[in-house]
């Protein structure tokens, strides 16, 4: 169950999207996220939708996987939609009960928020699905490296990310094991209200924390054994090289940006 979470996972496939330089891809993703907030009309969303569809298609990751990445966010998605639906002011009231009311503005707002969130998740998922974590962190490290002179610990941040990404599946597996072990001892995670369920999680989180600290300690030793001494003088197996593919992708991205901006301006 926990293992099914595909958010933030990498799929080692061979596609053009995979081949784009991570620095470009990160910038594209940021650009895409900004554009989502520009596209506030049905036509805009349609354009974003078509663009996302094509990118997913090109990435070979598969739509099922991408949809699955939305699953853990279903709750937040519904929550924001409902909040927007009921608590947006507006003149054309369609339905009212005490302080709750639904207005056309509310519906539009809710749809807007929901769509934006969906695209936000889809966009960032595509980035992580098609970029190996190390390339991703490499990319972030390179993009941040100009700020290193200002004291930003860009290598340390990148290393932290690498390790976090590496340990997510391991810790999920462990969480599952602990849950099983507690269930075997009669723990009940499924019934009761939210507070009771949250309380039931404490016996899961405590052992998880303890084991994470032990892991961190062992990992630190193992890294020292492999001569890790910070980012200074480190080389890298993969050299990032900008290819013509990256420039083509940049072109496509620019066209997409222009389309969104034009739609937003109403031609």
Partner 1 sequence: MIEVKDLVYSYIAENSKPEEILKNINISIQKGEFVAVLGHNGSGKSTFAKHLNAILLPMGGKVYIDGIDTSRQEHLWDVRSRVGMVFQNPDNQIVASIVEEDVAFAPENLSVPPEEIRRRVDDALETVGMSEYKNHSPHMLSGGQKQRVAIAGIIAMKPDIIVMDEPTAMLDPIGRREVMKTIEDLNSIYGITIVLITHNMDEAVKAKRVVVIDSGKVIIDDTPRNVFKNVELLRQIGLDVPQATLLAYELRQKGFNIRDDVLTVDECTEEIYKLCR
**What backbone phi and psi angles, to 5 degrees, belong to 190?**
-100, -25
User: Least distance in Å: CB of 215 to partner 1?
Assistant: 5
Q: How far apart are CA 120 and CA 122, in angstroms?
A: 6
3 state SS of 238: coil
Which residue, 211 or 264, has its beta carbon nearer to partner 1? 211
Range in contact with partner 1 (rule: CB under 8 A) among 26-34, 129-137, 141-149, 182-190: 129-137
Range in contact with partner 1 (rule: CB under 8 A) among 71-79, 94-102, 141-149, 157-165: 157-165
Of 156, 196, 224, 247, the residue at the interface with partner 1 (CB under 8 A) is 224
**What backbone phi and psi angles, to 5 degrees, belong to 93?**
-85, 125
Render 176-189 in DSSP notation, one character per residue.
Answer: HHHHHHHHHTT---
202 near partner 1 (CB under 8 A) = no
Of 80, 124, 132, 145, the residue at the interface with partner 1 (CB under 8 A) is 132
- 56 membership: H or E segment, kind and range: helix 42-59
Scanning residues 137 to 156, which ones bind partner 1 (CB under 8 A)? none
Strand segments, DSSP code E, in the chain are: 93-97, 100-103
Residues in contact with partner 1 by CB under 8 A are 10, 12, 132-134, 162-163, 165-166, 169-170, 173, 215, 218-219, 221-229, 233-239
């Amino acid at each position: 169950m926990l293992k099914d979470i595909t958010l933030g996972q990498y799929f080692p496939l061979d596609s053009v999207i995979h081949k784009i330089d991570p620095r470009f891809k990160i910038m594209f993703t940021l650009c895409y996220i900004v554009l989502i907030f520009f596209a506030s009309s049905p036509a805009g969303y349609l354009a974003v939708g078509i663009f996302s569809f094509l990118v997913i298609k090109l990435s070979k990751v598969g739509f099922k996987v991408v949809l699955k990445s939305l699953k853990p966010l279903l709750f937040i998605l519904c929550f924001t939609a409902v909040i927007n639906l009921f608590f947006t002011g507006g003149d054309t009231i369609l339905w009212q009960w005490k302080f709750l009311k639904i207005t056309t503005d509310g519906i539009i707002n809710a749809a807007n928020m929901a769509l934006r969130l969906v695209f936000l998740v889809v966009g960032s998922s595509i980035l992580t699905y098609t970029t190996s974590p190390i390339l991703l962190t490499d990319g972030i490290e390179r993009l941040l490296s100009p700020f290193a002179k200002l004291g930003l610990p860009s290598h340390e941040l990148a290393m932290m990310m690498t390790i976090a990404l590496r340990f997510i599946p391991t810790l999920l597996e462990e969480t599952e094991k602990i849950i099983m072990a507690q269930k075997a001892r009669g723990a009940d995670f499924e019934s009761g209200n939210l507070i009771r369920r949250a309380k039931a999680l404490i016996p899961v989180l405590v052992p998880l924390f303890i084991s994470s600290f032990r892991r961190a300690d062992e990992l630190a030793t193992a890294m020292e054994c492999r001569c890790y001494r910070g980012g200074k003088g480190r080389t890298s197996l993969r050299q990032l090289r900008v290819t013509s593919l990256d420039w083509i992708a940049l072109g496509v991205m620019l066209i997409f940006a222009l389309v969104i901006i034009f739609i937003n301006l109403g031609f």
